Amino acid sequence: TNLSPFNCSFQAMEREVSAAFDRGDPSEIMSSAFKLQVTREDIHTLRDLEWLNDEVINFYMNLLVERNKKEGYPAVHVFSTFFYPKLISGGYKTVRRWTRDVDLFKKDLILVPIHLSHHWTLVVIDIRKKTIKYFDSLGHKKDEICESLFYYLQEESQQKRNVQLNFSEWTLHSMEAHEIPQQDNGSDCGVFMCKYADYISRDKPIIFTQDNMPYFRRKMVWEIIHQQLL
């Protein structure tokens, strides 16, 4: 049966999400794509006030990339959550091969999910506007992360296409708390980060709030299981 969201009742979707949250074999694979697997245990990080894990975030980010292959969406590249720690610990040479099949400079947007010990944040590199912005749902500023990613981009441009990026042409900015929706608990940073990425990758204003989080969590469960964004 074709379970597109348009011929699948809200009740049926709710039942499916509840079933995914039920007890069951934690290692059961609930979704598999993009060379990634999401288990029931991973899906359970979307419950209530749990912290999202790498598996859920990387899978969801790949769903954004898939959606954006359609006409009318910006071309997006997403780095895995493991990219930034590798770049910081080992420098450009350790991540040089991560883009061997992709020309970052032909993309519109590059999304970099970042995990800071107990907190998820997002960096958005807009190649069209030459901006690098840091999105943090707790309002912290991390200009140094934007700088690290600019230097990565500079190196990538030099190595892959022999073009020097000029720092003075780029704008690096940590978004202020008043500029983007903020969380008011200690557990929703991962969902905020995923939704920043969702809205930005549609070139839409970011207009959700903390109140939307329980709904977003359940929606993400359905989207991951069906490998399709609503």
Residue 77 β-bridge partners: 110
Burial zone of 200 (CB within 10 Å; 0-12 exposed, 13-18 middle, 19+ buried)? buried
Q: How many C-beta atoms surround the C-beta of residue 131 within 10 A?
A: 14
Integer Cα distance of 204 and 209 in angstroms: 15
Amino acid at position 226, single letter: H
Catalytic residue among 44, 146, 188, 189: 189
Pairing of strands 119-126, 109-116: antiparallel
**Beta strand extents in 22-137 (DSSP E only):** 29-33, 36-39, 76-78, 109-116, 119-126, 131-135
Annotated active-site residue 136? The verdict is: yes
Helix/strand/coil percentages in the chain, nearest 5:
45, 15, 40
Annotated active-site residue 146? The verdict is: no
Annotated active-site residue 194? The verdict is: no
Catalytic residue among 42, 136, 188, 198: 136
What's the sign of the alpha-carbon dihedral 161, 203, 139, 83?
Answer: negative
Integer Cα distance of 215 and 110 in angstroms: 26
Please give the C-alpha separations between residue 115 and each of 1, 140, 223, in angstroms, as whole numbers: 38, 13, 22
Catalytically active residues, by annotation: 119, 136, 189
